[in-house]
Structure 1
Amino acid sequence: MLERRILLCFAALVALDAGFCRTSFAQSQTPAGKSRTTHRHSPSRSPAPTPRTASPVNGRAGTILGPSVPQTEEISVSGAGRHADGTTNTTPGGGLMPVQTAPRSQSGVTRDWIAKQAPSGNISSMIANLPGVVYANQSPLATAGDHITMRGMNESQIGYLFEGAPLADPINYEPYTSMLVDTENLGSVTVSQGAPDLNAPLFNAVGGQISATELNPSHHAGGYLNLLGGTHSAQKEFLRLDTGEIGNTGIRGFASFSYLSNNNWRGPGGLTRYHVDSKFVKEWGQGNSITAIFGFNRQEQTSWREPTAAQWKEYGTSFNYTPNYYPGNSTYYKLNFGNLNSLDVIAPMHFTLAHNLTLNVTPYFVHQNGPSVGGENIPASGGYYGTYQYGNLGQPYAYTNSSGKQMLTTASVDPWNQKTGAVNTSVDWTAGKNTLSFGYWYSYTTHEELSTFSVVDPSGKAANSYGRYPIVVNGVGILSGYNLNFMQQVNALYLADSLRLLNDKLVVSAGFRAAMVYRQGTNDVPGSDPYKKTGNYFEPLPQFAVSYQITPQDQVYMNGTTSFRAPESVEAYSQIFDPNSSHAVEQPGSLKSEYTIAEELGYRHTDKLFNFQMSLFNINLTNHQVTSSGYIPNTNMLISEPINVGGMTSRGVQGELGLKPWHHFSPYISAQYLHSTMDNNIPASGINAAGQSVIDYLPTAGKNSVGAPHFTFSAALAYDDNKAFFGNFSLRYIGSQYSTFMNDQRMPGYVVSDITLGYRFPHVRYLKGPKIQLNLVNVGNNLYRSAPGSFAATAQTRKGIYGSTISGGSPVYLVGGNFAALVSLSTGF
């Protein structure tokens, strides 16, 4: 591993030095008065930090390290789209396979696919059919969760970018894509399955990168209306208004509002969501633009209970929170829900300083806050606030449990509050055959999280309102399991160079990035040890890529990349306490950062009939932090539990094929074979022959990685006559996945299929492109477990390597959504 890391650094530095020296020499040899050949690059109007593109027609291949220009189609609200919903019916595979040229595994979706999916979906659900993407839902409407894995790594190990800004939680890395954008405003999504952009403002993307862009505002005043209704009492109202060109200012924009609600398909409760999107653009000169993007989200979702294998076998889809309350019933559904609230502001700016010099600046601000709420029964007296034992809390509505102890049913409230301010800048200089890029990213995050308890009255309602009147321990403070104050500061520098040779057919790119992350966390609960914990992370991250355009239609590439991820979640730095325990129920996790070295070898073909691409990949990961969610003992509160399992090796092959419309049909297939294994034996708590608790090891080296199916497959068939009728069919197969490190329990594979049927009406006065669309989700009503929700060392009690007895555990699982039928009516105006 160390040797490969050194060689990669050396290769990057040599390429940088050789390429730039060659350019400097060429410039010095140019006679006075003679013009030099330069390549001007105009920044995109709707930027995202994806690699530079180049048309295969002119023989130029893209680069992994160049200026930030989007890789997929850019569609404005009405100008470029043939239909009111932005579809053009030109992308191969029905919108699942736009042209890619970057020298790495990369796929995408465009409006041709997005507009025909259920309008209740999110960014993650839109890319479920792409190669190597394992998407697991809990709701057929795709409103709950973003559980994704790629090449054996989950969403917390994948970098999410929206319009060039990382809007995922910067500490636990959850993307929360349902908060980011309405799918009616989503322009395109690009998935890099193995490596992030060198200039991307990310420090967790060891498993790849997902970049999404919003539609560009129309040049003409108007709007778009979409109304949805369907099973599970689903309804959505969406309205977008476009300003068009505002006078002679060159400014145009849009603002939209939506309301979405539905009932849970299993168990009581449901979701309500209010969302606002806005985007304004000012363009002038050649390649100059300023964009202002605003997003607001407020939603509440009843939580889902996650069954173990035994509970799934016994109860199936009936394992849910209960609809009725009685004293002591902490599983009452109104005590178990989560709020996701966010405010996002992004302002990408692009300036052409000279004919060969550009400046890109993207400041952004993100505010996310809860609360999350879970039911819990706590002692009315004699419980614990940290390590301090309290007396009688003096609260009403106490009941006596089966052990004769006085207890209180409470709503355990976690009102997390997080703010991030940041700016990402880069300068790109083109000189002859070289493009030199330099960039700097700074980010500052604060995070506050004070858990509280509110007493529940006999009707099942928390006293007054959740969290407003928490229980107070006299003379000590608010009763809490954790009182966290967290700060994070990120500095990252990068330098990259791209050299074009052989009439621009050969492109050699190399770069180096230095990322520095500082974290500091405190826990103000009595007895917390340590009270304060810090983490400093510095990682050198070289990248190297070569691509060659064999013919205007055929490209081969290879790359070597590195990336890292700082430890996930504030729980990695702080203890977690509970009133039912005299000591911490959760200890700080591993504070080592993950580091990957990856290589890819790939081939692409693009012509007038079809697109095809295939790649081989190899990934070595050290300090692999497997993310597991676990319940705080005696509660319904889930927390993130990072588990360091040592090294992991993932090797495999992926491919996809998409045909351009032929007699109005566009088929698409994708597949991946993955062989992912653990490199080390993992530590586990055991009991030795003397009855003492000891740390032993389980023989997990060589075992299959958890949550990493060997085989995944997707097929889709789209039909669109460009006039009236359209539709598509898609099918996904996900192979079985292990949920224990000893591979003694696994979740079976499953198949899910969806159908879309639609009809466009003739134009009506004042209406542009009215249509009706029917989305049938999970048409076979397959009831299945969609992904492991937690992991265990072993499901069976067994002997460790040193002879101690290690008890088995019971992983929990996400349950996939059942059948749903959704009808939507939409029109432009």
Structure 2
Amino acid sequence: MKTSVFALSLLGGVSVAAIAVAQEAHQLDPVSVSGSEVGGALVVSDPQPTPKSSVTKAGIDLLGGPAQTSIYKPFDLMPSVMAESPDPFGLSPTRNINIRGKSNFHLSSNVEGLPLTGIVGGADLFDLENVEQMDIYRGGAPAGQTLGISNAGGGIDQRLLRAQDKFGVQAKQAYGSYDFRKSFARLDTGALPETDTRAFISFSSTANDKWKGSGDQDRINTMLGVSQELGERVKVDLAAVYNKYSANTYRSLSYAQTKNLKGNYRYDYNTTLTGTNATDVNYFDFNRSQYENYATLATVDVTLAANHHLLFKPYYWNSNGVTYGQTSSGGAGVQVWHQQNDNLGGVFEYNGNFSTGTQLSVGHWVQQMAAPPPPTDQKKYTVTANGGLNFANWMTLAKIDPFIVNSPYVQATQAIGKTTISGGLRYMILGAPSMQYYNTAGLPNVSYDQIWGYNPTPYADAAVRAKDYAELLPNIGLRHEISPEWSASASYARKFGRPDWGPQASNYINNRVAFQAKGVSLQTLVDKVKPELSDAFDVSARYSAGGLTVVPTLFFAKNQNRQVKVVDPAISNLSYYQGNAETTQYGAELEVSYEVSNTLTVFASATQASETYDADTPTLSGGAIAGTKGRQVPNAPQTMVKGGLTYRWADLSVSPVVRYIGDRFGDSSALERAKGYTVADFFAGYDLGKEVGLSSLSAGLSVLNVLNRRYVAEVAPNDTDLSSGASYYVGAPRTIVGTVSVKF
């Protein structure tokens, strides 16, 4: 297969970025990419009718950042994608990815096709060194892909690097700015004699200081993988991971503070205690989070006959964490939120390729998710004169049943001459739980399990009935080869976004008197949010010849039941969510690459997009109406341009990269403008292996934000928020990291 390249290359552990485009084919099998491509560092497009882009292993090494932990960073050079964070290393939980103007709130984030993580809690589970491929769906997806309780914002998936056939050791050490350091090691056993078992174990330790204020970030990760064939028909792959993470959070700026970035650039949480509670709640160590995660997943592949397989893919994930932060209501204090999530699920799937050329996939996904959200328990503490925390009261106490998901699906694909047609249907049933909140007055400072011995009184007005949300999600795609150089494709898919019950419950419990005065119960608020539905269309063409690849794409979507946060003057200016907005989304993407010679490749991507509200947004009380009609949704840049080049000489590779992100707004009234920014990065790598007689010994250098620009990197809340008062996080200054890696 001749593969067109849209790439950045790197020799070594960190460096460079890559985009490549693979020539069309009719199969749905994984894309095969020649190792002779530029540096092996590629992002490729999948040949199936429904559009998908993939970052290969070499591309992950380059795009994943120095820490190699963030599932968002590898996609940052793709069109219509904006990865946001104040942290240069990708370790901070303060981050977002925006795809075609939509935030990660409705993003399906999977591992091996499984929605392994729950709704909230924990950091990235896997070291990217253990990930072989990462996929992203910016538009629609086949029925068995982007499984999860939300995929309205698109989907991403990590494909793990499984146990290898040959014995091998990999080690990497990185150091950089702000005391950044990462140590990573992986041992593969190869195929063991007698049993033919393949296994690997890896360990990593990653840490750095915050680049402003006080505090740090620490992460410990251990992973085990085993592959085993049981006879000629059964193959089992098992992976287990343990991840422990703690971090002090970055402090945001108000919109007024962004008007003077120079003066407020290093604004952060307080580094000293004053003895005054209202001030000391902003002490850096009272604004942090920590999580401990355990997860395991498996794939049991049973060959029924040639080209016919039955798959069973069970998984389990548990997260135990706590978050500290300033209370949003009820006076100055530190809120402590314990988050204990427990998720158990599995996918049963049949895959068959028939002699007629038909490919068929039939499956069923089930999952049980223990809350939160919404929060089951939150406590408030005040800061003592000596800097300790003194229990004040329970803020939230609830019993919430598990969420139950059932989702059968079917997908069929047929090649007819030079045309491939694929279509499918998924039935999404999201079982929302019953919820009961309790009066916390006078309850003592004991654990969640112990508090029930004190017989708290249930609120009659703060109970929510269990409810099933069910939707049919069809998809269809078509790809046609016009000539050896030209092809065209079109696709449609309906996507699903879960309602967000969490803020509704928190807002209600904190403001019961005001809501009750207007005859509003918690059930009333919960009923106002419902699943977002997005009907997405994509049309694209591709030209590929003589080292030049050009891929223009047009996309369009109608979004209904769009969840938005409003402020209601008729209910004491309280905020809450509603699922009553409709938006129209459209835009164009362009990917261009040109392999000038064996030593020089240039590349670029561009996006011009819009998503605006179709009408003004009424409030629950029927009072004031938010003037949203025709307004761009918050935190959605209309223009993005990215590009760079890679030059290779002997064993040296260098690549400058530039990203321009256009203006965004922090509010639906388009009054708070976050100015566009341009950031340049530089990467270099050198292969030392030949000089010392090793198969692989590499050194790499990464310089992020070369020109040391000051800019707003992240806007939060994101595109669901119609209220003012958004938080703005500045981008990190110039950051330099060096890496040495070895394999043998």
Change (3 A) 1:605 1:346: farther
- Cα deviations across residues 91-147 of structure 1 (Å, max 9, x unaligned)? 59x734324212233323223332234331422011100111011121111212441
> 2:529, 2:563 within 8 Å by CA — same for their partners in 1?
no
Structure 1 residue 282 displacement after superposition: 2.5
Secondary structure at the aligned position of 1:480 is classed as strand
Structure 1 residue 167 displacement after superposition: 2.9
**Residue in structure 2 matched with residue 246 of structure 1 by the alignment:** 192
> 1:349, 1:361 within 8 Å by CA — same for their partners in 2?
yes
**Residue in structure 2 matched with residue 695 of structure 1 by the alignment:** 623
Structure 1 residue 746 displacement after superposition: 1.6
User: Where in structure 2 are the equivalents of 1:88-167 lying within 5 Å?
Assistant: 88=35, 90=37, 95-117=41-63, 118-121=65-68, 122-144=70-92, 145-167=94-116
**Residue in structure 2 matched with residue 772 of structure 1 by the alignment:** 699
Gap regions ≥5 residues in structure 1: 1-54, 64-68, 74-79, 81-87, 384-406, 464-469, 473-478, 630-639, 686-692, 796-807
Q: Distance in 2 between matches of 1:264 and 1:758?
A: 26
Q: Distance in 1 between matches of 2:595 and 2:230?
A: 35
User: Where in structure 2 are the equivalents of 1:539-550 lying within 5 Å?
Assistant: 539-550=471-482
**Residue in structure 2 matched with residue 670 of structure 1 by the alignment:** 605
Secondary structure at the aligned position of 2:227 is classed as strand
Change (3 A) 1:128 1:241: same
- Paired positions, count: 679
**Residue in structure 2 matched with residue 349 of structure 1 by the alignment:** 300
Secondary structure at the aligned position of 1:114 is classed as helix
Change (3 A) 1:428 1:596: same
From 661, 668, 674, give the equivalent of 1:747: 674
Structure 1 residue 251 displacement after superposition: 2.0
Q: Distance in 2 between matches of 1:812 and 1:669?
A: 31
Change (3 A) 1:185 1:626: farther
Structure 1 residue 769 displacement after superposition: 1.5
**Residue in structure 2 matched with residue 817 of structure 1 by the alignment:** 732
> 1:792, 1:809 within 8 Å by CA — same for their partners in 2?
no
Secondary structure at the aligned position of 1:112 is classed as helix
**Residue in structure 2 matched with residue 516 of structure 1 by the alignment:** 429
Scaled by the length of structure 1, the TM-score of the pair is: 0.76
Secondary structure at the aligned position of 1:115 is classed as helix
From 209, 212, 215, give the equivalent of 1:269: 215
**Residue in structure 1 matched with residue 448 of structure 2 by the alignment:** none
> 2:49, 2:422 within 8 Å by CA — same for their partners in 1?
no
**Residue in structure 1 matched with residue 389 of structure 2 by the alignment:** 462
User: Where in structure 2 are the equivalents of 1:317-356 lying within 5 Å?
Assistant: 317-327=265-275, 328=277, 329-356=280-307
Q: Distance in 1 between matches of 2:712 and 2:577?
A: 22
Amino acid at match of 1:823: G
Change (3 A) 1:775 1:765: closer
Change (3 A) 1:819 1:165: same
**Residue in structure 1 matched with residue 492 of structure 2 by the alignment:** 560
Q: Distance in 2 between matches of 1:623 and 1:698?
A: 16
**Residue in structure 2 matched with residue 422 of structure 1 by the alignment:** 345
Secondary structure at the aligned position of 1:126 is classed as helix
Structure 1 residue 716 displacement after superposition: 2.8
**Residue in structure 2 matched with residue 443 of structure 1 by the alignment:** 367
Q: Distance in 1 between matches of 2:344 and 2:110?
A: 15
**Residue in structure 2 matched with residue 467 of structure 1 by the alignment:** none
Secondary structure at the aligned position of 1:709 is classed as coil
Structure 1 residue 250 displacement after superposition: 2.5
Q: Distance in 2 between matches of 1:140 and 1:261?
A: 12
User: Where in structure 2 are the equivalents of 1:734-813 lying within 5 Å?
Assistant: 734-763=661-690, 767-790=694-717, 809-813=724-728
Structure with greater proportional strand content: 2
Amino acid at match of 2:103: N
What is the aligned-residue identity percentage?
A: 21
Amino acid at match of 1:123: I
Q: Distance in 1 between matches of 2:349 and 2:170?
A: 35
User: Where in structure 2 are the equivalents of 1:536-685 lying within 5 Å?
Assistant: 536-573=468-505, 575=507, 577-578=509-510, 588=525, 590-606=528-544, 609-626=547-564, 642=577, 644=579, 646-660=581-595, 662-684=597-619
> 1:278, 1:294 within 8 Å by CA — same for their partners in 2?
yes
Amino acid at match of 1:202: G
- Cα deviations across residues 641-667 of structure 1 (Å, max 9, x unaligned)? 755451011111112123458323332
Amino acid at match of 2:179: S
> 1:770, 1:826 within 8 Å by CA — same for their partners in 2?
yes
**Residue in structure 1 matched with residue 132 of structure 2 by the alignment:** 187
- Cα deviations across residues 175-224 of structure 1 (Å, max 9, x unaligned)? x6x52221222222122111133113223111222122122322222211
Q: Is the aligned partner of 1:363 residue 2:314?
A: yes
Change (3 A) 1:126 1:60: closer
Amino acid at match of 2:258: W
Structure 1 residue 791 displacement after superposition: 6.2
Q: Is the aligned partner of 1:715 residue 2:643?
A: yes
**Residue in structure 1 matched with residue 452 of structure 2 by the alignment:** none
Structure 1 residue 694 displacement after superposition: 6.3
From 21, 26, 42, give the equivalent of 1:61: 26
Structure 1 residue 707 displacement after superposition: 1.7
Secondary structure at the aligned position of 1:339 is classed as strand
> 1:741, 1:794 within 8 Å by CA — same for their partners in 2?
yes
Structure 1 residue 766 displacement after superposition: 8.6
From 403, 426, 434, give the equivalent of 2:358: 434
- Cα deviations across residues 748-807 of structure 1 (Å, max 9, x unaligned)? 111112111122213577954222211111111111111321269999xxxxxxxxxxxx
Change (3 A) 1:748 1:486: farther
Gap regions ≥5 residues in structure 2: 1-20, 440-458, 568-574
Q: Distance in 2 between matches of 1:179 and 1:661?
A: 38
Q: Distance in 2 between matches of 1:793 and 1:166?
A: 23
Secondary structure at the aligned position of 2:62 is classed as coil
Change (3 A) 1:355 1:310: same
Change (3 A) 1:659 1:114: farther
> 1:481, 1:576 within 8 Å by CA — same for their partners in 2?
no
> 2:560, 2:581 within 8 Å by CA — same for their partners in 1?
yes
Amino acid at match of 1:664: T
Q: Distance in 2 between matches of 1:343 and 1:700?
A: 43
Change (3 A) 1:458 1:492: same
**Residue in structure 1 matched with residue 141 of structure 2 by the alignment:** 196
Amino acid at match of 1:495: V
User: Where in structure 2 are the equivalents of 1:395-406 lying within 5 Å?
Assistant: none
User: Where in structure 2 are the equivalents of 1:457-536 lying within 5 Å?
Assistant: 457-462=384-389, 479-483=394-398, 485-502=400-417, 505-526=418-439, 527=459, 529-536=461-468
**Residue in structure 2 matched with residue 224 of structure 1 by the alignment:** 170
From 136, 161, 165, give the equivalent of 1:215: 161
Secondary structure at the aligned position of 2:585 is classed as strand
Structure 1 residue 299 displacement after superposition: 0.8
Q: Distance in 1 between matches of 2:735 and 2:721?
A: 36
Q: Distance in 2 between matches of 1:269 and 1:296?
A: 24
| TM-align CA RMSD | 3.2
Q: Distance in 1 between matches of 2:378 and 2:398?
A: 6
